[in-house]
Structure 1
Amino acid sequence: MRRAATGLLVLMAALFFIARHFAGVHPAWGYVLAFSEAAMVGGLADWFAVTALFRHPLGLPIPHTAIIPENKDRIADTMAAFLRDNFLIPPVVARRLRHMNLAAAAGAWLADPAKGGSTRLRDGAAELAAQVLESLDPERLGTQVRGGLFRQLDKLEVSPLLGQMLATIIADKRHMPVIESLVRWAGLTLEENEELIRALIHSRANAVLRWTGLDERLANSVLDGLYKLLAEVIVNPDHPLRGKVEEGLAKLAQDLQHDADLRERIEQMKRELIANPAVSVWWQGVWERMRTAMLARLRRADGESSGQLAEALTELGRHLRDDPALQLQINRFARRTLVGISVRYGDQIVRLVSETVKRWDAATVTERIEGAVGRDLQFIRINGTLVGGLVGVAIHVVDQLL
């Protein structure tokens, strides 16, 4: 298509010289001369405009040329600001989570013996339960297990424990499935908000992009790039973006252990959860069957506790699945936690997008975008040549009439 557009321009130049040579033979040659002359001007102007989007015409550093490579970083910052201002703000996150029953979904998963009793989940739950039980004073439990347990939990600051658990999970690479789920969720969110992203790019595009109609192609290229990035993160365990997410999780683990404000919020959520009557009823029934044997078996390698723990997890799943009051409390806890994370770490999350785009090589980005919209760019040149010629004929007609 580039050769076709250039060939048409050369054809107009040849036609111009022919018409100029025969201009005095017949008045019709004047119209041909006007058409070819204006067509060359239109073709050259559109060649300059199209070239200026991606590089400096003829290698000359003319101002306001090489628009896309020169503004790559600004495009990255605009995308990051858009994600921060439209996705990772508390009202949006809360509204999204308000329609998701996380507790019921987790309960249904745990209630299924084939899933809730999986080896990975049993091992993780066993380690957590062992740490909690070992932190309690067994003498204070006695026959009043529930009251003693809740008093101990009220004294136990769970935020540092959660931070240590998260650090251990990261060290053991158990967080990778969670990252993959978040990436898939990001892909679905991006798909549902494509029109909003397109509208933002259209509003931020300069006059040249809008005039040439390339803002739509640029929006498609940006969205395709984001989808490709998310796909690469899923299939490539060593993707740099995963490393950034791991850095954010490591910082969260650090803050859970050392940030006073975050620890206080976690403590408040813990107190609300303990005060829920449904939790007390559930725990009192489960604890009587688990307490005496769990400490002795949790850390044993022969797996004798697997069946009992799987049964307890299944019972917990049934409570989560069938108890609306418990679901309300846990969903509220999850919603507040995730909203807090979006507020506290939203800038770090969107910075991943900005830094990733900024790391892209300008020549590579330019080549990919130009390749995606290249045919239409050359049609712009062809149309400019033909439209310019028609305008030249129209001007010549007006000149003859006047």
Structure 2
Amino acid sequence: MSTTGGRAPRTAGAGGFAYTAEDEEKRRGVRRMKATATALLLLVAVVYALATWAGAAGVTGWPGYVAAAAEAGMVGALADWFAVTALFRRPMGLPIPHTAIIPTKKDQLGASLGTFVGENFLSADVVRTRLHALDIAGRLGAWLSEPAHADRVTAELSTALRGALTVLRDADVQAVVGEVITRRAEAVEVAPGIGQTLDRVVADGAHHRAVDLVCARAHDWLVLHGDSVMDAVQGGAPGWTPRFVDRKVGERVYKELLRFVTEMRDMPGHPARGAIDRFLVDFAADLQGDTETRARVERLKSDLVARPEVQDVIASVWGSVRAMIVSAAEDEHSELRQRARASLLALGARLTTDAQLRRKVEGWLEDAAAYVVTTYRSEITSLITDTVASWDADQTSRKIEAHIGRDLQFIRINGTVVGALAGLVIYTVSHSLGG
């Protein structure tokens, strides 16, 4: 290939296959070796001609041996020249069958290479054997046991986490979170769980504090709003009753109500408290076993979840969680990073000392790798065949010749030398037997 301005051109074939300046430099080395091999062929041809001339001139002895060696060297050189040339192009441009193998058989070679790789490298047994020999779990454990390495992994994980949270759109995540929570709430019946919890609360007496609080607040409210209570009672009296009677009735109702609430507040054994306990026990049982009660609770749950206020709260959960995670990931001394670092160090120590854990990890890795190569073997090998098929045939031939052509020219040189030696031995044996 010619050059411009002393620099080799860079040409790209299909599929990004490029013939580079480095390839051109290799081709210059190939041309030098070609010249050497051709010069050796010419040398043995000249030797053959001189030996033949000497024999014809009446010189006896050595001309026959030299001519036989040179003749066999020429045959070997020409045969190897033909073989090497036939890999990349048609010798002397002649349409000889089974020549220009690489340009004409490129796709078949790619398919064969893909099949070879699939059968000999992408098999479950080969992958398992190789991974088992590498002892990945043991090496990983020893590596993670170093605090500096654990710090590095923690930092990288934090960076990756921040990057992932930055890429995610809050609106999309909030919509997904809201849908998941709502769907989960709709799918789970809450009444039985509430009933069981209420049963345990009543059995433990944990509800007594709530009753105490309600009674105390009710008493304080009645003390502060006595006039409002009496006015409400008087306002509900018939119009034909005297006003002083209404006022007396209102005062009486207020005093009785205040006395009742006061007694409930001050008497743990008050009958009304027992009635509340029985009500809660019956309600807990209905929540667990009564169909109508459970249906009402489910309808209430659905109405509550569907309210815009609740949906806004659900959607805002992601924003709070995201801010918390980003802040913890950025802070080197945060609890999240410290726990992650401690977990990595502990994992490294366990992988180093616990043989059973190492076997489990190696088994998981081997199973995963075996699954990938057996499931996606055709896709992996098709990458090889499709890539080779996309290459330009001529550029492929030139690139391969640039990389291996120099070694192939040694075949021509060796063929010349070996051919000459073989010819000399054959002539010597024949002459000895014939003489």
Q: Give the TM-score taking structure 2 as reference length.
A: 0.45
Higher alpha-carbon Rg: 2
Q: Give the TM-score taking structure 1 as reference length.
A: 0.49
